Structure 1
Amino acid sequence: MLALFGFTMVHAYEPIPITVSNTMDKIIFDGKWTFEYEWKASSLNTYSYDDGTSIVLRSAHQGDFIYVFLDPITDHNLNTMNDHAIICFDAKNNKSTKADLDDYCFMTSLGGRSGFAYQGGHYSAKNNFLGKIQNPEGFVAVSTMSDTNDRYTPVPHPSYEFKIPTDLLGRESMYGFYFAIYDAHTKKIYTYPQNLTVENFVPSPNHWGEIYSPDSSLPEFGIPMIILFLSIASLILFSKVKRGPSLQFR
């Protein structure tokens, strides 16, 4: 398997806006753009590289999950289980020089039906302090070939779908963010931030970019939090009604 971790140099980047959506729960997680409107209600960012490679990133959040679709639309050489993609989140966006406990990465390979999760704080510097962890509940990372239903090209090419639990990352309006796609045919790695000089696959978090919620809607309240909030509000209101207005004598 491809080595995961390495060194890089600092490059400028544009932060990625991530939109709130009400259709992400309709996605069919089969590793491809399955039907015409599947990823339409999501943020769109396109990255072009010096050799003519283009990668489309679609991202959104809904409820308890962040959704990411990586679409390397110019890769027409299909290398099953050798092409890879990884996405990483710095949950506190603290830009640490080595991966710590709030840094997470998620990887899958072309043809892979279940991905892998990694967390920082590992003892080994060889892997940039990232170690494999048990896949969290609800996590999805799959890949296959997108083709006729893809919005950008009908020519078969790898694509990667991810579903990441927000409770694992913590509910923030901004995360550090990184992605990399490895093309086994050319033996090149394509990254965000763009054109990083990466020896292997994942640099230290202080070289990652950022993904943010423009309307600060990303820390969506889950049902338990809503119930707790309503319960507290009801108790306060009941307490005020029970006491009634106070009388002041002058």
Structure 2
Amino acid sequence: MIELVSILVLLIGFGSVFADAEESIQITLSGTMNKIIFDGKWTFEQEWKQSSLNTYWYENQNKNIILRSAHQENYVYFFIDVVTDESLDKNLDYATICFDSKNDKNTIPDSDDRCFTAILGSSTAVTLQGDQKEEFKQVENHPDLIAIGGTSDQNDRYSGVPHASYEFRIPTDLIGRNNIYGFYFLVYDAHTQKYYSYPIQLSSDGEISTPDTWGEIYSPDKSLPEFYVPFLIIVLGFALVISMNRSKLFRQYA
């Protein structure tokens, strides 16, 4: 069954994108995300291979951030690889991913806007939710949420030099099953005391920008509200039984 999903993924294909400030991000279906080891790094050579790839350059190409993204069943998955951050300031460096579930691009964050933060050297996630009175406020983590920061090294396909990286597994229960979302990420490098984000901009204060300034992430084949393979097999089997019974009836009364 996993093999079937993997074949579908290969047929869809994965693109490498040197993204500009306004370019939307594709998130694709994968059959291997359930094999990821969540330790905040690219652990083995094939770990994040079956995922979409977006590459971002900042400050005249001196800062390089890789975003890998995919979805499988009840989760969306992200790997933020801060390839050029080799200073490794644990408990200070972090990455935040935000979703505007309705993509309504409000100027003030509301309840369908959620952000998830992974901190370098920590496996404790932070969840923020929009509140029109307090902008973003911290809320309780979902029990299945994973957001962890680590040090990627020898198995990382972009750099074998130890550098900061972050892994996320976000339940679709938190963001809804949509084909398109407002999307934003923010990375902080404590060594340079600078913030890097998508859409591309440099922030001096680390404030999460309002949803009306966010970019978008979308499912190109509209598969994000996944029609699960097991359920599909059941439906096809049921349809086959009905078809066979109708054929028998047709032959009986022909």
Which TM-score applies when normalising by structure 1?
A: 0.82
Match of 1:162 among 146, 161, 168: 168
Aligned to 2:200: 194
Structure 1 residue runs of 5 or longer lacking an equivalent are 1-10, 245-250
Change (3 A) 1:55 1:102: same
Q: Which runs of 4+ in 1 moved over 4 A?
A: none
Q: Distance in 1 between matches of 2:202 and 2:27?
A: 22
Query: Alpha carbon RMSD of aligned pairs, Å?
Result: 2.4
Distance 1:202 1:118, change over 3 A: same
- The question of whether the paired residues in 2 share the 8 Å contact of 1:189 and 1:201 is answered with no
Other structure's SS at 1:130 match: strand
Equivalent in the alignment of 1:117: 127
Q: Residues 224-248 of structure 1: CA distance to partner in whole angstroms, max 9, x if unpaired?
A: 9x59x96xx99xx8xxx9xx9xxxx
Indicate the structure with greater helix content: 2
CA pair 223-130 structure 1, distance change in 2 beyond 3 A: farther
Measured at CA, do residues 96 and 122 of structure 1 come closer, stay the same or move farther in structure 2, by a change above 3 Å? Answer: closer
For 1:219, the equivalent position in structure 2 comes to: 225
CA deviations over 1:69-123 (Å, ceiling 9, x no partner):
0001011111000001100000000000011010000001110112111111253
What stretches of structure 2 of length at least 5 have no aligned partner? 1-19, 250-254
Report the Cα offset of residue 200 of structure 1. Answer: 2.1
1:39 matched to 2:48? The reply is yes
The Cα shift of 1:137 comes to 2.8
Q: Which of 132, 137, 145 lines up with 1:131 in the alignment?
A: 137
| Deviation of 1:164 (Å) | 0.4
More strand by share: 2
2-structure distance, mates of 1:92, 1:147: 37
For residue 131 of structure 1, report the CA deviation from its aligned partner: 1.1
Give the whole-Å Cα distance in 2 for the aligned partners of 1:146 and 1:16: 23
Amino acid in structure 2 at the alignment position of 1:193: P
Aligned to 2:76: 66
Residues in 2 aligned to 1:185 and 1:41: alpha-carbon distance in whole angstroms: 32
- Higher RCO, Cα 8 Å, sep 6+: 1
Q: Which of the numbers 68, 73, 94 marks the counterpart of 1:84?
A: 94
Aligned residues: 222
What does residue 117 of structure 2 align with? 107
Change (3 A) 1:175 1:198: farther
Q: Secondary structure at the match of 2:174?
A: helix
**What residue number does 1:56 align with?**
66
Does residue 184 (structure 1) correspond to residue 194 (structure 2)? The answer is no
CA contact (8 A) 2:115 2:128 kept: yes
One of 134, 147, 155 as aligned partner of 2:153: 147
The equivalent of 1:15 in structure 2 is 24
> Which stretch shows the higher mean deviation, 215-224 or 112-121?
215-224
Counterpart CA distance in 2 for 1:209 and 1:93 is 9
What secondary structure, in the 3-state scheme, does the structure 2 residue paired with 1:101 have? coil
In structure 2, distance between residues paired with 1:72 and 1:23: 23
Q: Which has the higher mean CA deviation after the structures are superposed, 188-197 or 25-34? A: 188-197
Q: Which moved more, 1:215-224 or 1:34-43?
A: 215-224
For normalisation by structure 2, the TM-score amounts to 0.81
